[in-house]
């Protein structure tokens, strides 16, 4: 029994949440759309002025009375184009003006039921603002006007005895009917807001994707996807701090491909690019998860090793990288290349200047290349201990 009650309560809460979610929030209309709608509604308000004048005169009122009836819509319609107030104030001005037009029509008609339909039209029009302030002002003015006028001059707003006797009851009845008749407008408003929120969310998502893409491009090599020199510098700065705090060491490997120029000259840049991509993939696979491989440009790569306990750990990292890059590279199943690499290295503490670690490893790489040209083929890789 308790489980059934809990399930029923949960379903009721879910339905209530959906109902609350369906209620429009208001105020989400973009400024450009709001201005177009406000200008249109302001013009509709001003267009009522000659219509009210003509209708009043046709109903037999004096010219002065007709002008007095149209003066409030005229004043509010003119004021609606004043740009200094905010959106809320300007929309309330238009709402008040349009409701005053409804009041004049009902008054001049002698309380004809048909004239009351103008209230329904006005409230539907005001929902175009997609803002609760003008909408609720219109509903409130409708109720107040029907109640006050119903007390002071019941025949000017109602045309049946029960309303003459109970003006406030029928004022709320009319307000309820106007609100109920606006259900379609509120639904359209809610759907429009949902679409707007979805578009705004999608725009924000795309903006975040663009920002992430631009940030990635600024810190990564376009060809290989490896971090670039800028990101290596940031990593070394942070690594130096961590090494100083943990009393560990930082290792930097500077890698230069040995025969890359010959590959480019013999096979062209497309094959050269393919070699660089394979090299990047092999570096990623050869290093530890805590290390970082990067491409500085051309055929130069760097590996940053953190949390090293000494030279033996760095030597092990050099051997892993050397083994990976010493393997032949097959391109399109019909080209096999033996490229190889020379690996310079430097081992530093967290208190050493991190800014020159890449340069020191680069110098070591050139030293090894010079020794190899002198006939020593073994010097590029330290012997494991």
Mind telling me the catalytic residues?
299
First-to-final CA distance of the chain:
74
What does the alpha-carbon distance between residue 86 and residue 97 come to, in Å, rounded to a whole number? 17
Inter-residue contact 339 to 329 (CB < 8 Å): yes
Q: Please report, for residues 18, 86, 90, 134, 182, the alpha-carbon distance to residue 93 in angstroms, rounded to integers and kept in the order given.
A: 33, 11, 5, 8, 20
What does the alpha-carbon distance between residue 291 and residue 252 come to, in Å, rounded to a whole number? 10
DSSP at 384: P
Burial 88-115 (b: 16+ CB within 10 A, else e): eebbbbbbbbbbbbbbbbbbbbebeeeb
DSSP at 310: S
Long-range contacts of the stretch 163-171 (C-beta < 8 A, 24+): 170/146, 171/143, 171/144, 171/145, 171/146, 171/147
Inter-residue contact 299 to 257 (CB < 8 Å): yes
* Dihedral over alpha carbons 159, 162, 166, 172 (to 10 degrees): -70
Q: How many helices (H) and strands (E) does the chain have?
A: 14, 6
Report the chain's C-alpha Rg in angstroms: 40
DSSP at 252: E
């Amino acid at each position: 029994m308790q489980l059934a009650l809990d399930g029923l309560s949960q379903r009721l809460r879910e339905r209530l949440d959906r109902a609350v979610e369906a209620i429009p929030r208001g105020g989400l209309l973009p400024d450009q759309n709001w201005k177009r709608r406000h200008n249109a509604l302001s013009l509709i308000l001003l267009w009522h002025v000659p219509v009210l004048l003509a209708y009043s005169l046709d109903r037999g009122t004096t010219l002065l009375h007709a002008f007095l009836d149209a003066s409030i819509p005229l004043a509010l319609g003119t004021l609606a184009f004043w740009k200094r107030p905010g959106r809320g104030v300007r929309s309330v001005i238009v709402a008040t003006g349009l409701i005053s037009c409804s009041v004049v029509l009902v008054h001049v008609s002698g309380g004809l039921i048909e004239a009351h339909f103008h209230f329904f039209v006005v409230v539907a029009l005001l929902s175009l603002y997609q803002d609760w302030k003008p909408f609720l002002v219109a509903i409130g003015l409708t109720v107040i006007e029907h109640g006050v006028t119903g007390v002071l001059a019941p025949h000017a707003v109602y045309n049946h005895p029960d309303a003459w006797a109970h003006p406030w009851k029928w004022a709320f009845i009319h307000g309820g009917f106007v609100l109920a008749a606006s259900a379609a407008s509120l639904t359209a408003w809610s759907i429009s807001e949902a679409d707007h929120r979805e578009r705004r969310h999608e725009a924000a998502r795309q903006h975040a994707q663009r920002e992430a893409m631009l940030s990635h491009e600024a810190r990564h090599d376009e060809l290989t996807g490896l971090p670039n020199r800028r990101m290596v510098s940031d990593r070394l700065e942070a690594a130096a701090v961590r090494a100083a705090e943990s009393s560990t060491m930082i290792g930097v490997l500077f890698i230069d491909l040995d025969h890359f120029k010959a590959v480019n000259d013999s096979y062209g840049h497309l094959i050269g690019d393919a070699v660089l991509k394979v090299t990047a993939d092999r570096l990623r696979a050869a290093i530890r998860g805590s290390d970082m491989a990067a491409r500085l440009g051309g055929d130069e790569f760097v590996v940053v090793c953190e949390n090293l306990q000494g030279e033996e750990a760095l030597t092990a990292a050099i051997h892993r990288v050397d083994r990976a890059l010493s393997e032949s590279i097959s391109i399109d199943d019909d080209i096999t290349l033996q490229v190889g690499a020379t690996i310079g290295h430097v081992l530093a503490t967290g208190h050493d200047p991190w800014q020159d670690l890449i340069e020191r490893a680069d110098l070591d790489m050139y030293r090894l290349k010079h020794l190899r040209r002198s006939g020593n083929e073994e010097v590029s890789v330290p012997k494991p201990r």
